[in-house]
Homo-oligomer: A and B are copies of this chain.
């Protein structure tokens, strides 16, 4: 075991009343912020840190778990602890539902991803009828049953979001919307063909920590929150024709909106 280069990490201040594991986390955090550990670089191993700071292993692990829950580092069993690389983000523009984007053969997600140089995938197709949850029911005007379309989106093999669209069953039954692949332009194009000309969308955004199920589905590293977006689509008659419930890996997205000043 070779000692760490001195100066790479500072040393503890025994007079400080800040807990030792917090001091260690501070030193590591500072070193990362200052670029002394690059993105993707391996931190000193736990036992190296034990030697360097002269503390027990649990104390080091405590410090590392702080950084992990901050989303700064992630550990890999058998390999080490690494500075978490910031993945490329997908920008959702405020005009992403403009009608002109629907006049293409491919889905908006696929088109946009390819334009950005990524390899898009859509999987986990599930289309079924079900009873709406209280929230969905309220948004859609209390239909007895809804069509639910679930899918998961991946970029370069990495899952970045999963979404469920809910449509009133009376509106979607026996239409291409109830097919696994609704065709070019997606369900919004089909809705308009069915006479539901779209007027506007409402989006509600929350951020929170993922549930264990969401961690699994999106393969989230610890310390990565999710963005929870619920979109309601209204037709020109003012009827809510679709609710789309989306959970996104927060480190993969920047949402962008335009607001009028009037």
Q: Which residues of A contact B (CB under 8 A)?
A: 26, 29, 58, 65, 69-71, 94, 96-99, 198-212, 222-227, 233, 250-251, 253-262
- Closest residue on chain B to residue A259 by CB atoms: B201
Whether A200 contacts B255 by the Cβ 8 Å rule is no
Q: How far is the CA of A103 from the CA of B161 in the complex (A)?
A: 41
Whether B257 contacts A205 by the Cβ 8 Å rule is yes
Whether B206 contacts A250 by the Cβ 8 Å rule is yes
Task: Identify which of A70, A204, A225, A251 gathers the most chain B CB atoms within 10 Å of its CB.
Answer: A225
Q: A26-B212, A201-B259, A205-B255 are in contact. List 20 more A-B contacts (CB 8 A).
A: A29-B212, A58-B58, A69-B209, A69-B222, A70-B209, A97-B260, A98-B262, A99-B261, A200-B259, A201-B258, A203-B256, A204-B254, A205-B205, A205-B254, A205-B256, A206-B255, A207-B207, A207-B226, A225-B250, A257-B259
23 sample A-B contacts, Cβ–Cβ < 8 Å, listed by A number:
A26-B212, A65-B65, A69-B69, A71-B208, A71-B209, A94-B259, A97-B261, A98-B261, A200-B258, A200-B259, A201-B261, A202-B257, A204-B255, A205-B256, A206-B253, A206-B255, A207-B225, A207-B226, A207-B250, A208-B225, A208-B251, A225-B225, A233-B261
Chain B min CB distance to A166 (Å): 18
Task: Identify which of A223, A250, A261 gathers the most chain B CB atoms within 10 Å of its CB.
Answer: A261
Known contacts: A222-B69, A225-B250. The answer to whether A261 contacts B207 by CB under 8 A is: no
Task: Identify which of A98, A226, A250, A253 gathers the most chain B CB atoms within 10 Å of its CB.
Answer: A250
- Closest residue on chain B to residue A98 by CB atoms: B262
Q: How far is the CA of A251 from the CA of B228 in the complex (A)?
A: 12
